[in-house]
Structure 1
C-alpha cells in the first residue's frame, strides 16, 4: 500500500517543520513507521531533508515511535 500526499507543499507553507509538530510529521511516515520517500510525497529535496531530520529528532525525543508495536 503506497501513500501519496497531494499538495503537500501547500500544507507546509502554513505549518512549521519542527520535531515537536507531531501532527505534521505523522503525514510523512507510514503505519509501520518508515519515512515516505520524496517521489511519493511530492516534496522538494530541501523540504524532504527537513522533514526527515525532524522525524528522526522526534523519534529520539520519544514523540514518534521507531517502529509500530505489535501487529
Structure 2
C-alpha cells in the first residue's frame, strides 16, 4: 500500500501592488525608458504580469511600448 502525504495548507497568494495605479500613471509612454526598464529582465525579456502585478490590458500596452522603444533604438533588445 502506498502512503499518501497529508495535504499542505496553502495560504492565498499576496496580490502585487499595481505600479501604474500607485504612481498615478494613466498613459504608458514608449519614451519613458527608465519606467519601462522595470518590466524587462536582465536578459532583455519582458517580465510576466504575474511577476509585475499589472492587469492584462496594461501588460499588452507595456509590451507594445517596450517593442516600440526597442524599434526606435531607445532600449536594447538584449543586454550582454
Q: What is the TM-score normalised by the length of structure 2?
A: 0.71
- Measure how far apart 1:9 and its partner are: 3.2
SS class of match (2:38): helix
- Measure how far apart 1:11 and its partner are: 4.1
RMSD of aligned residue pairs (Cα, Å): 1.8
Aligned partners of 1:39, 1:50: CA distance in 2, in Å? Answer: 15
1:47-58 superposed matches below 5 A: 47-58=58-69
Q: What is the TM-score normalised by the length of structure 1?
A: 0.79
| 1:28 equivalent in alignment to 2:55 | no
SS class of match (1:32): coil
| 1:62 equivalent in alignment to 2:73 | yes
- Which residues of structure 2 form unaligned runs of 5+? 1-15
- Which residues of structure 1 form unaligned runs of 5+? none
| Higher RCO, Cα 8 Å, sep 6+ | 1
Residue-pair matches, total: 65
